[in-house]
Amino acid sequence: MNKLWTNLKSWYGVLFLILLAGGVLWFTLNGMPYINNLRANWEAQRLQDQWEKPYREDKYGGETPEETYDMFLSALSKGDITLASKYFMVDEQSKWEKTFEEYKNQNLLGDLMMELKNNQKSWTLSKIDNQTIIYTYSYIRKTPQETELPISGGKIQRITLPAGTFKAETIFELNTYTKVWKISVL
């Protein structure tokens, strides 16, 4: 009886090992794709959150496009080009800060301010929806005008602007995360 019990226990051990190996094999074949899918979804969500973070933290702008534009002009008039650039869309801010820096280095910031204020006076609302507002404006250049535009590296580019009547637009977009209006096109 004792020998039978010992043999029976050893068969239970073998059966247990076979069942354990089968469970591991089943988990590997069926459970790992599920776990890999969970991991991939988690990684995608982490990357999405990382990409959205600057937009969720962006508080610069007004409740209306006009308020944002006034805040932008105020910062620019004080020479605070870093703050002025924060009123643009998040992915455009560094570009605009560099541009304003070049204007400031060339002592053209005051001229830019006057031009932007004059443009605002003749704005006409041309498109409005929940996330985009476009103002168009016309301006007249009576004679051809030579001007110098700052480019990178402290260099300037001399161009001739033709005479005539021209249309342009200023576009604002809503940051849907923080509900502030941002300048998209100036």
Assess whether 82 and 146 both reside in one domain: yes
Residues in the chain: 186
pLDDT tens figures, 77-94 = 999 999 999 999 999 999
Enumerate helices (H) and strands (E) in the chain, giving the number of each: 6, 6
Assess whether 50 and 105 both reside in one domain: no
The residue among 9, 40, 57 that closes a domain is: 57
pLDDT tens figures, 78-137 = 999 999 999 999 999 999 999 999 889 888 899 899 989 989 999 999 888 889 999 999
Assess whether 47 and 80 both reside in one domain: no
Assess whether 46 and 79 both reside in one domain: no
Looking at residue 182, its amino acid is: K
Assess whether 87 and 157 both reside in one domain: yes
Q: What is the CATH number of the domain that holds 154?
A: 3.10.450
Looking at residue 3, its amino acid is: K
Q: Is the pTM of this model over 0.85?
A: no
CB 85 within 8 A of CB 94: yes
Total domains present in the chain: 2
Assess whether 66 and 78 both reside in one domain: yes
Domain that holds residue 126: 61-185
